[in-house]
Chain A
């Protein structure tokens, strides 16, 4: 987990500001129902949530692909609805799905795209960073799914972006490729790149992001550092043991005291203290009733 230095910065240092964002699709489906968050310069922010929760709609509004129905959005100081080519030159976009299986080779594709940007990275460095040195002269359509995804990531960073959008970037990666990808992202973070990430892998969010927001049903149900998601309440440990053949379970923020009491009468059977994992907290949050969603910010 990265230290949350961003908390101390002023709001003028934000790269993304979203207030009251709403999106209603034609036909009346309300995909996003009032979302607020800010991403500070140099920060990595993760948007988490189940499929269909509104993550991709939100990220595509920020990227300028979709119009919004309500609220205000500013990305690098500009409303994405009016973002021109100069604005796009500062962004790197890795879309969730990209089926274009070009007939260009990896190096040809990256060299071509590098030409669009005023200040691109070196093509061979980017190829090395995504671990495709051996495939540099292979046509992209002949690569495996995971390798093509790495080309997507390479195309996202070739322009040396100030703000990088990563929409489920590691889908289809094997575990080693994911570790390599994390290293690549840590390198970008050291260079000061701001990142908006969506992912289904909570360990990935924990590895990469300073802060995260959890979206469920078009609303932000939690927002904060990964350590603080869901607030202190969500992190209260559970003590479990078996007494007279019956299973007992008790939530307490003083597990030691409880255990001391239990052990006074002899050694309890199958005693355990369980701290909710990020996954437990996440699952609780996304299944909470809408009314109970006045959660920590």
Chain B
């Protein structure tokens, strides 16, 4: 009976997970709306400021400058933060134990989790881009190649973050401590990876530290899509280095898969 039911059950899980996500007000605020709120604050606070010139000599405004970082932060929040806290809570509140007693395959469970991240991540990115464009006049790229880059960076990035979230869900010792363990990690990464602070103005050693983690590469990939080519010169080595983005995210994806495979248990068997 089992193999034929994995996909239908996975789809049923996606529906169930997405519904559950939007019914939890705190997750909606801290993972879904957070980058949107931050983009709005930065755009309004620095509305008079110019962040550089594009090729045609027009000033780049705050919303344009912060949009790539907020998209990257959104992937990290919707993927890593949401997933790790969610699974840690489900471990401690008995949800996983209950599911473990049913014929639901663990694969279907993870299809549901990753599907939830993809659905909410895509919606979040769409809301960010629409608000940036409509409310703050951010010019969106017109070349198909830019949107192609956006698509693969987004899909690879959000999947990597989701898998890493599964791997990290074993770190908190209880559901209650999950937010306290995960949020500092996520927050520090955002500060050193060019989400809130201009990455190229950070000290070089800190840039090197940040380069070990995936968020820096997500932000860099998004900058290559949304910032004018005049900004490329400010990047490390004066290139967007999309190959580096692809390699770094792929390495983290594989590391995340290994960590998830090793750490995930339906139940802590002999606690």
B-binding residues in A (CB < 8 A): 25-26, 63-67, 84-86, 88-89, 91, 93, 95, 97-104, 108, 112-113, 115-118, 139, 155, 159
Closest CB in chain A relative to B211 CB, distance in Å: 39
Docked complex Cα distance between A113 and B12 (Å)? 10
Cross-chain contact of A118 among B1, B16, B93, B105 (Cβ < 8 A): B1
B-chain residues with CB within 8 Å of residue A115 when the two chains form the complex? 8-9, 12
Partner-binding segment picked from B96-104, B147-155, B180-188: B96-104
Docked complex Cα distance between A95 and B266 (Å)? 15
Interface residues of B in 9-25 (CB under 8 A from A): 9, 12, 16, 19-20, 23-24
Interface residues of B in 60-105 (CB under 8 A from A): 90, 93-95, 97-98, 100-105
Cross-chain contact of A116 among B20, B95, B104 (Cβ < 8 A): B104
Question: Cβ of B101 and Cβ of A104 under 8 Å apart?
Answer: no
Nearest residue (CB) in B for A141 is B23
Closest CB in chain B relative to A211 CB, distance in Å: 24
B2 interface hit (Cβ, 8 Å): yes
The secondary-structure label for the interface of chain B is: helix
Nearest residue (CB) in B for A90 is B103
B-chain residues with CB within 8 Å of residue A85 when the two chains form the complex? 1-2, 103-105
Nearest residue (CB) in A for B3 is A85
Question: Cβ of A88 and Cβ of B102 under 8 Å apart?
Answer: yes
Known: A85-B2, A102-B20. A66 touches B270 (CB 8 A): yes
Docked complex Cα distance between A101 and B94 (Å)? 9
Closest CB in chain A relative to B57 CB, distance in Å: 52
B-chain residues with CB within 8 Å of residue A98 when the two chains form the complex? 94, 97-98
A-binding residues in B (CB < 8 A): 1-2, 5, 8-9, 12, 16, 19-20, 23-24, 90, 93-95, 97-98, 100-105, 267, 269-270
Question: Cβ of B93 and Cβ of A112 under 8 Å apart?
Answer: no
B-chain residues with CB within 8 Å of residue A113 when the two chains form the complex? 102
Docked complex Cα distance between A86 and B2 (Å)? 7
A-chain residues with CB within 8 Å of residue B5 when the two chains form the complex? 116, 118
Question: Cβ of B12 and Cβ of A112 under 8 Å apart?
Answer: yes
Question: Cβ of B98 and Cβ of A88 under 8 Å apart?
Answer: no
Given pairs A66-B270, A95-B98, 11 additional interface contacts (CB within 8 A): A26-B270, A63-B101, A86-B1, A101-B93, A102-B20, A102-B95, A103-B23, A115-B9, A116-B104, A117-B102, A155-B98
Docked complex Cα distance between A103 and B12 (Å)? 16
Cross-chain contact of B270 among A25, A89, A100 (Cβ < 8 A): A25
Docked complex Cα distance between A209 and B90 (Å)? 34
Nearest residue (CB) in A for B13 is A112
Question: Cβ of A104 and Cβ of B98 under 8 Å apart?
Answer: no
Nearest residue (CB) in B for A67 is B269
Closest CB in chain B relative to A33 CB, distance in Å: 17
A-chain residues with CB within 8 Å of residue B101 when the two chains form the complex? 63-65, 88, 91, 93, 95
A-chain residues with CB within 8 Å of residue B267 when the two chains form the complex? 65
Q: Could you name 21 residue pairs across A and B whose Cβ atoms are closer than 8 Å?
A: A25-B270, A65-B267, A67-B269, A85-B2, A85-B103, A85-B104, A86-B2, A86-B103, A95-B98, A95-B101, A98-B97, A100-B93, A100-B95, A100-B98, A102-B95, A103-B19, A108-B19, A112-B16, A113-B102, A116-B102, A117-B103
Of all A-B residue pairs in the complex, the 9 with the closest CB atoms, nearest first, are A103-B23, A93-B101, A89-B103, A100-B95, A85-B103, A98-B94, A88-B103, A85-B2, A100-B93
Nearest residue (CB) in A for B266 is A65
Closest CB in chain A relative to B149 CB, distance in Å: 36
A-chain residues with CB within 8 Å of residue B12 when the two chains form the complex? 112, 115
Question: Cβ of B20 and Cβ of A89 under 8 Å apart?
Answer: no
Closest CB in chain B relative to A110 CB, distance in Å: 12
Question: Cβ of A84 and Cβ of B102 under 8 Å apart?
Answer: no
Closest CB in chain B relative to A93 CB, distance in Å: 4
Closest CB in chain A relative to B17 CB, distance in Å: 10
Nearest residue (CB) in B for A65 is B267
Closest CB in chain B relative to A193 CB, distance in Å: 16
Interface centre among B8, B94, B102, B269 (most CB of A within 10 A): B102
Question: Cβ of A65 and Cβ of B9 under 8 Å apart?
Answer: no
A-chain residues with CB within 8 Å of residue B100 when the two chains form the complex? 65
Known: A97-B94, A115-B12, A116-B102. A89 touches B269 (CB 8 A): no
Docked complex Cα distance between A63 and B100 (Å)? 10
Question: Cβ of A65 and Cβ of B269 under 8 Å apart?
Answer: yes
Known: A67-B269, A102-B20, A112-B16. A89 touches B1 (CB 8 A): yes
Question: Cβ of A84 and Cβ of B93 under 8 Å apart?
Answer: no
Docked complex Cα distance between A104 and B20 (Å)? 7
B-chain residues with CB within 8 Å of residue A95 when the two chains form the complex? 94, 97-98, 101
Nearest residue (CB) in B for A102 is B20
Cross-chain contact of A100 among B16, B90, B105 (Cβ < 8 A): B90
Docked complex Cα distance between A117 and B12 (Å)? 13
Nearest residue (CB) in B for A103 is B23
Closest CB in chain A relative to B125 CB, distance in Å: 24
Nearest residue (CB) in B for A25 is B270
Closest CB in chain B relative to A120 CB, distance in Å: 11
Closest CB in chain B relative to A107 CB, distance in Å: 13
